[in-house]
Amino acid sequence: MPSPSQNAGRLGEDLAAEYLESRGFKVLERNYRSLRAEVDLICFLPSERYGEGGELIFVEVKARKNSTFGHPEQAVDRDKRKNLIRAARAYLYERKIEGTPCRFDVVAITGFGKQTILEHIESAFTIF
């Protein structure tokens, strides 16, 4: 049985996926894992100009009931970024698409229900 924090995490991922899809993102993977590395969402955002391809986006979702212990995006610290980078490299390697334009976004969610605040931080950090 999932813990309350796991349930909140799943709800946050659902909200983030719905939000991103409403803005033209295509969710390719949810909870991608490789070894001990994990990415919440892997999305593709097509270019506005047909034929120019698009961008692969690795998304970390952080959800909190409130900001008592800080804003959700603050939890994407150096260790979490290293974990995301490791998972992204594994994903690109497994699919033989190294060199694909990509970025790392964070979706920070505070509160649930009518009080939900969702913030999409594009290119929260880069490595490529």
Question: Which pLDDT value is given to residue 94?
Answer: 92
Q: How far apart are CA 76 and CA 109, in angstroms?
A: 13
Q: Single out the residue of 47, 52, 57 nearest to residue 91, CA to CA.
A: 57
**Per-residue pLDDT for 14 more than 80?**
yes
**Long-range contacts of range 48-57, CB-CB < 8 Å, 24 or more positions apart?**
53/101, 54/101, 55/101, 55/102, 55/103, 56/92, 56/97, 56/100, 56/101, 56/102, 56/103, 57/25, 57/102, 57/103, 57/104, 57/105
Tell me phi and psi for residue 51, to 5 degrees: 95, -10
Q: What is the pLDDT of residues 23-61, one digit of tens each?
A: 999 999 999 998 888 999 999 998 776 666 788 999 999
Q: How far apart are CA 58 and CA 64, in angstroms?
A: 20
What's the topology of domain 4-125?
Trna Endonuclease; Chain: A, domain 1 (3.40.1350)
Give alpha helix (H) positions in 1-128.
4-22, 78-94
Question: Which pLDDT value is given to residue 117?
Answer: 84
Residues 44, 57 contacting (CB under 8 angstroms): yes
Question: Which pLDDT value is given to residue 128?
Answer: 52
Q: Output the average pLDDT for the chain.
A: 84
Question: Which pLDDT value is given to residue 27?
Answer: 96
DSSP state of 48: S
Averaged pLDDT, 71-79: 73
pLDDT band, very low/low/confident/very high, at 66 (cuts 50, 70, 90): low
